[in-house]
A and B are shown apart, each in its own frame.
Chain A
Amino acid sequence: MDEKSEVLGSQYLTFVLREEHFAVEIFSVREVIDVATLTVIPRMPDYLCGVINLRGNVVPVVDLGLKLGMAPFSRTVNTCIMIVEIEVEERGQVEKMAMGMLTDSVLDVLDIKGEDVENVPRMGTRINTEFIKGMGRHGDKFIILLHIAAILAWEGRAVLHNLDQGVLQQEDVMNAFA
């Protein structure tokens, strides 16, 4: 067993996105909740689907399916939000932040051994390989093990990109004085 597989062998929470099975390591998931009232934040990309009130805290929610480039999916009774905890570095300080992941339904917790985790194929998944930790074998099926931190870090980059646009707009405003 090589070192990598050893690290990857653990318990995973499996869930469904558009009928396909995915999994994330169980320790990164804090809880799973039903979809309550989602407050939509306007003028943002569609996969940033809004915020929820989680016991007095405002928690942003990402539509994981849309984020991974899948088609929109209407919500059902099974639709739920996985609350994950991530670490964000801001001004040199690492802060823990809760984030919601909208999934079509959550299945169960699986033990996936290190030897059952295959490396990520370089192509073919049609998902950014940075988002995938490995391919977990479960019986005769393969489950994509997602790298939550990488997905959200990617989000950070997108936000930075938006920031650049903001500066451009300020110049536009200066032009407007003309």
Chain B
Amino acid sequence: MGGRNVGEQAGPDPPHTWGIEEIDMADADFVKVVREEVNELLEELESSLLELEESPEDMKIVGRAFRALHTVKGSAGMIGFDDIASFAHHVETALDKVRNGEIGLSCEFVNLVLQSKDHLTLLLQSACGEGEADAGQGEMIVDGLNTLVTESQGTGADAALQTETTDCCPGRPGNEHGVASSYYIHFLPSPACARQDRDLHEMSRCLGQLGELTILNRPETDGDEPIWDMLLSTNEELSAIREVFALYDNNPRLSIISLTMNCEEELPPHRKLGEILLERGDISPKKLQDVLSRRKLFGEVLVEENIVSRARVDSALAEQQLMTRKREICLKKTQTENIRVSAEKLDHQVNLVGELVVIQSRLSQLALQIQESELQQAVQMLERLSAEMRENVLAVRMLPIGTTFNRFRRLVRDLSGELGKEVELVTRGEETELDKSVIDKLGDPLIHLIRNSLDHGIESPEERRAAGKSARGTITLSASHSGANVAITVADDGKGLDGDRIREKAISRGIVAADADLDGERIFELIFAPGMSTAENVTNVSGRGVGMDVVKSTIEGKLKGAVAIASCRGEGTTVTITLPLTLAIIDGLLVQVSDASFVLPLAQVEKCVEISTEDVERFHDRHVFPFDDQLIPYVRLRDFFMVPGRRPDLEQMVVVQHNKHRFGLVLDSVVGSHQTVIKSLGWVYRNAQGLSGSTILGSGEVALIIDLGGIFQSALSEEQYACQR
């Protein structure tokens, strides 16, 4: 089969192809790279289609979608994924018709192309040996597209006119034919034909009928060679143009160059005048060299020396100019230069920098002991450098969150259709940057939240009108920086949470006691409990009572963040997720209990106070302490972590804030702030209570990083358990 023939229909049985298996072994890495690229292109295709729904007249977006699809086809063909290439080819053909204005853009069409995108994703997965793609589905889509194309081609002229009136092609003034592409035509009639002046004029008239014809260069006097240079804007095929020429001249020298602004095409490199003439056979390489060596104005010399006629030079110049312009336009479109680096390499880099920071702090400690000023200077320099390097490396891993947001447009579009609701997704702060690892883990929780908003939050258009709101609901997804954190909110303008219903449900599920006294916020927090769902009916969207608890545990457990919920009856619900900027390195507070070292996340530390034995006795060893006119509970780390050793008379209490809960941690001594490179405790200890990781101190000792939320919850549940006995 055309194992390498991009865009050809894939044959059923390959006799001796450069098959996927072979490539897999030879270039598994290459396939991986291409696969990533294709995935990105498919995302691009999807997002442009969704934009297209908003503004169907914008032909630039059609162009973007087309280019993405075209590159998918090319890339897939390149690595021998012929199913994908062939399917993409069919879709591309249909999309091309839209691009050329032959058929109008309907909602149905966008739907089909969106389905094609899904199918392509499936095909890609199955080509890589993950899952099966349904060939029938592909055929269905292609059939659907073909039907749409044939149906609307009857009204093609209308469609073309429609797109024309909405100014589909800015920058091409005065065309009246729904122009698709421009051709540069270089034509040298055969001597027999050149004498028939009348024929030539007839010919140019015919060309004029195909589209808008601009004659750049025509023979004026009899002495000149009869060279024609023309610019033709037409939506006819190339063959139609050739036919016109064939009609009048059976042996012309004719070259037709497409000037359509397709940046995905391989552009010929910038060509010098000499090269163009050489290629046309107007000059021999030797003569060209001759002239070049004289270095006069090149075209002039050629004419003066009677090597090439003025007309030929002018014609070549005209072509050169056009090509230059075409290149310029396309260059402007190319995006800023980026390098694709595997995440693995970046992770490794972060690890290395982490180790560098550890070594550096060890050096600083040694320098302090040695008390040698020159050494200390050098160490200080190193300290600055490594701090800068750390920030740099972390910045490289930062990605704008917008990439994640775009994924949800499709989700909202499809779900709102399914649920019969009109919903618009508004995104803000797409440029907010977050660590890649955080973004990766954020996707699922956000999907849950958006689904919830769509299903439970936003009402049906009728209900909304009855409530005096616009029929179209809005879900706002926004991200913003706040200090060392990023706040992400999912807000809807739907009916809001029903506190009474949540309470009822929580009581019937045994999550809270029937006589529990809960204020508003506490009630809303109940929806994060496992097994809670207040949707009356279980739909395939939500209502199974899983979801919100997963959201909470993912964000608190994996992302070390916090979730808060606010709601107002009839006005909507807002869920706010607060996340740390990075998971790799944090500012920590190093503390000690006997010989054991612990690190607290500095961002959550409020204050350090002393607490003496008398203070403890004053409260009869009840673990509470007055702070800021408030009685706050405390946890003694020595007891919680069962650290051996004797309790000192004067202890330190570090007041921390977690999720609006303020409490104290009582420990032996506070060492100071510490740049904490987070190291996972590993698979064995992933459920260690009250600990979120570890770090290596300058001394080489391993210190444990405290998970404040974990300590609070464990201490709370232990005390509850003890009191129930």
Q: Is the CB of A39 within 8 A of B717?
A: no
**Which residue of B is nearest A95, CB measured?**
B683
The contact of B596 among A39, A48, A56, A88, by CB within 8 Å, is: A39
B309 to chain A, nearest CB (A): 69
Q: Does A71 contact B (CB under 8 A)?
A: no
Interface flag for B713 (CB, 8 Å):
yes
Do A173 and B702 have beta carbons less than 8 Å apart? no
Q: How far is the CA of A56 from the CA of B704 in the complex (A)?
A: 14
Judging by beta carbons under 8 Å apart, are A53 and B713 in contact?
Answer: no
Is A60 interfacial (CB 8 A cutoff)? yes
**With A and B bound together, what is the CA distance between A35 and B641 in angstroms?**
22
Chain B neighbourhood of A88, CB < 8 A: 683
A-binding segment of B116-124, B160-168, B521-529, B607-615: B521-529
Partner of B683, one of A40, A43, A156, A170: A156
Give the contacting residue for B694; candidates A39, A169, A173, A174; CB below 8 A. A39
Establish whether residues B513 and A97, one from each chain, have CB atoms under 8 Å apart when the complex forms: no
Shortest Cβ gap from B23 to chain A (Å) = 23
Nearest CB of B to A60, in Å: 4
Is A37 part of the binding interface, using a Cβ–Cβ cutoff of 8 Å? yes
Residues on B with C-beta less than 8 A from A99 are: 682, 684
Partner of A173, one of B680, B684, B713: B713
Q: Is A42 an interface residue (CB 8 A)?
A: yes
Bound-state CA distance A148–B325 (Å) is 68
The answer to whether A72 has its CB under 8 Å from any CB of chain B is no
- A90 at the B interface (CB under 8 A): yes
Task: Check A97/B682 contact, CB under 8 A, given A42-B641, A42-B643.
Answer: yes
- Across-interface contacts of A166 in B (CB, < 8 A): 687
A residues in contact with B522, CB < 8 Å: 177
| Chain B residues whose CB sits within 8 angstroms of the CB of A70 once the complex forms | none
Task: Encode contact with B along A162-175: 1 for CB under 8 Å, 0 otherwise.
Answer: 11001101111111
B210 touches A (CB below 8 Å): no
A77 CB contacts on chain B under 8 angstroms: none
Residues of A within 8 A of B355 (CB): 56
Give the contacts of A28-86 with B (CB-CB under 8 A): 36-37, 39-44, 48, 51-53, 56-60, 62
Residues in A whose Cβ lies below 8 Å from that of B553: 170
Q: Assess the B516–A155 pair: CB atoms within 8 A.
A: no
User: Which residues of the partner chain A approach B717 to less than 8 Å between Cβ atoms?
Assistant: 169, 172-173, 176
Pairwise interchain contact A60-B681, C-beta atoms closer than 8 A: yes
* Of B641, B643, B689, B702, most A-chain CB atoms within 10 Å: B702
Q: CB within 8 Å of A: which of B618-643?
A: 640-643
Asked whether, in the complex, the Cβ of B694 is within 8 Å of the Cβ of A58, the reply is: yes
State the Cβ distance, A86 to closest chain B Cβ, in Å.
9
- Identify which of B511, B682, B689, B704 contacts A174 (C-beta below 8 A): B511
Are A39's CB and B716's CB within 8 A? no
Number of interface residues of A (CB under 8 A): 39
Given contacts A174-B526, A176-B716, contact A59 B682 (CB under 8 A): yes
Complex interface: chain A residues within 8 A of B700 (CB): 36-37, 53
- Contact indicator A48/B684 (Cβ below 8 Å): yes
Structural contact, A41 and B685, CB atoms closer than 8 A: yes
Q: Which residue of B lies closest to A160 (CB)?
A: B687
Assuming the contacts A56-B355, A162-B687, asked whether A51 and B694 have C-beta atoms less than 8 A apart, the reply is yes
Which residues of A sit under 8 angstroms from B640, Cβ to Cβ?
Answer: 42
**A51–B702 CB distance below 8 A:** yes
Partner of A51, one of B525, B526, B681, B721: B681
Q: Does A178 have its Cβ within 8 Å of any Cβ on chain B?
A: yes
Partner of A42, one of B642, B713, B716: B642
> Is A159 part of the binding interface, using a Cβ–Cβ cutoff of 8 Å?
yes
CB distance from B620 to the nearest CB of A (A): 23
Q: Is B518 an interface residue (CB 8 A)?
A: yes
Q: Does B541 contact A (CB under 8 A)?
A: no
The answer to whether B511 touches A52, judged by C-beta atoms less than 8 angstroms apart, is no
Q: Does B177 sit within 8 A of A, measured CB to CB?
A: no
Q: A90-117 vs B: 1/0 string, CB under 8 Å?
A: 1000000101000000000000000000
B688 within 8 A of A: yes
Residues of A contacting B434 in the complex (Cβ-Cβ under 8 angstroms): none
Given A41-B688, A51-B685, A173-B717, the answer on whether A58 and B702 have CB atoms closer than 8 Å is yes
Q: In the complex, what residue of chain B is closest to A44 when comparing beta carbons?
A: B688
Complex: A62 Cα to B680 Cα, angstroms: 16
Tell me which residues across on chain A come within 8 A of B685, comparing CB atoms.
41, 44, 48, 51, 60
Query: B721 and A39: CB pair below 8 A?
Result: no
Closest to B679 in A: A58
* Known A41-B704, A53-B696, A177-B522; contact A172-B721, beta-carbon cutoff 8 A: yes
A43 touches B688 (CB 8 A): yes
Task: Chain A residues near B549: list those with CB within 8 A.
Answer: 170
Say whether B232 faces chain A, with CB atoms less than 8 Å apart. Answer: no
Are the CB atoms of B688 and A39 closer together than 8 Å? no
Q: Are B701 and A171 in contact (CB under 8 A)?
A: no
The answer for the CA separation of A163 and B354 in the assembled complex, in Å, is 30
What are the residues of chain B within 8 A of A171 when measuring CB–CB? Answer: 511, 529-530
Instruction: Please tell me if the beta carbons of A43 and B690 are within 8 angstroms of each other in the complex.
Output: yes
Q: Which residues of A contact B513 (CB under 8 A)?
A: 175, 178
A62 cross-chain contacts in B, Cβ below 8 A = 684
Partner of B529, one of A37, A51, A53, A174: A174
Contact with A along B641-671 (1 / 0, CB 8 A): 1110000000000000000000000000000
Assembled-state Cα–Cα distance A5/B284 (Å) = 79
Which of A41, A62, A155, A169 counts the most chain B CB atoms within 10 A?
Answer: A41
Task: Give me 10 A-to-B residue pairs in the complex whose CB atoms sit less than 8 angstroms apart, sorted by A's number.
Answer: A37-B702, A42-B640, A43-B688, A56-B354, A56-B358, A60-B684, A170-B530, A175-B511, A175-B512, A177-B525
A-B contacts besides A43-B689, A60-B681, A170-B530, 7 pairs, CB < 8 Å: A39-B694, A56-B696, A62-B684, A163-B687, A169-B714, A174-B529, A175-B513
CB-CB nearest 4 A-B residue pairs: A42-B641, A178-B516, A39-B702, A172-B717
